[in-house]
Amino acid sequence: DAEITQSPRHKITETGRQVTLACHQTWNHNNMFWYRQDLGHGLRLIHYSYGVQDTNKGEVSDGYSVSRSNTEDLPLTLESAASSQTSVYFCASSEVGLAGFYNEQFFGPGTRLTVL
Amino acid sequence: QKEVEQNSGPLSVPEGAIASLNCTYSDRGSQSFFWYRQYSGKSPELIMFIYSNGDKEDGRFTAQLNKASQYVSLLIRDSQPSDSATYLCAASTWGGAQKLVFGQGTRLTINP
Q: Give the pLDDT confidence of A1-57 residue by residue, as tens digits.
A: 889 999 999 999 999 999 999 999 999 999 999 999 998 788 999 999 999 999 999
Peptide bond into B44 cis (omega under 30): no
Least Cα distance to A73 among A113, A22, A109 occurs for A22
Give the Cβ contact number of residue B57 at 10 Å.
12
pLDDT at B69: 95
On whether the CB atoms of residues B98 and B31 are closer than 8 A, the answer is no
Identify the weakest region by mean pLDDT among A75-79, A81-85, B8-12.
B8-12
Average pLDDT by stretches of 10, chain B with 112 residues:
82 96 92 94 94 94 96 97 96 73 94 92
Contacts of A89 (CB under 8 A, 6+ apart): A6, A21, A34, A35, A36, A37, A46, A76, A110, A111, A112, A113
pLDDT-above-90 percentage for chain B: 77
Is B69 near chain A, with CB under 8 Å? no
pLDDT at B93: 73
Amino acid in the structure at residue A27: W
pLDDT at B42: 95
A-B interface: how many C-beta pairs under 8 angstroms? 52
On whether the CB atoms of residues A82 and A24 are closer than 8 A, the answer is no
A-chain CB neighbours of B44 within 8 Å are 43, 90, 107
Q: Given an 8 Å threshold on Cβ–Cβ distance, is A43 in contact with B102?
A: yes
Residue B26 has, within 13 A of its CA and on its CB side, a CA count of: 9
> What is the rounded CA–CA span in Å between residue B26 and residue B2?
6
Q: Given an 8 Å threshold on Cβ–Cβ distance, is B104 in contact with A107?
A: no
> What is the rounded CA–CA span in Å between residue A109 and residue B66?
33
Option in B46, B49, B105 nearest A42 (CB): B105
> What is the rounded CA–CA span in Å between residue B103 and residue B41?
18
On whether the CB atoms of residues B55 and B63 are closer than 8 A, the answer is yes
Least Cα distance to A7 among A24, A30, A27 occurs for A24
Which residue of A9, A88, A101 is the best one to mutate when testing the B interface, meaning the one whose CB has the most B CBs within 10 A? Answer: A101
pLDDT at B78: 97
pLDDT at B98: 76
Option in A42, A101, A109 nearest B94 (CB): A101
Average pLDDT in chain A:
93
pLDDT at A40: 76
pLDDT at A43: 94
Is B34 near chain A, with CB under 8 Å? yes
A-chain CB neighbours of B45 within 8 Å are 107
**A85 or B1: which leads in pLDDT:** A85
Q: Given an 8 Å threshold on Cβ–Cβ distance, is B46 in contact with A104?
A: yes
Confidence tier at A98 by pLDDT (50, 70, 90): low
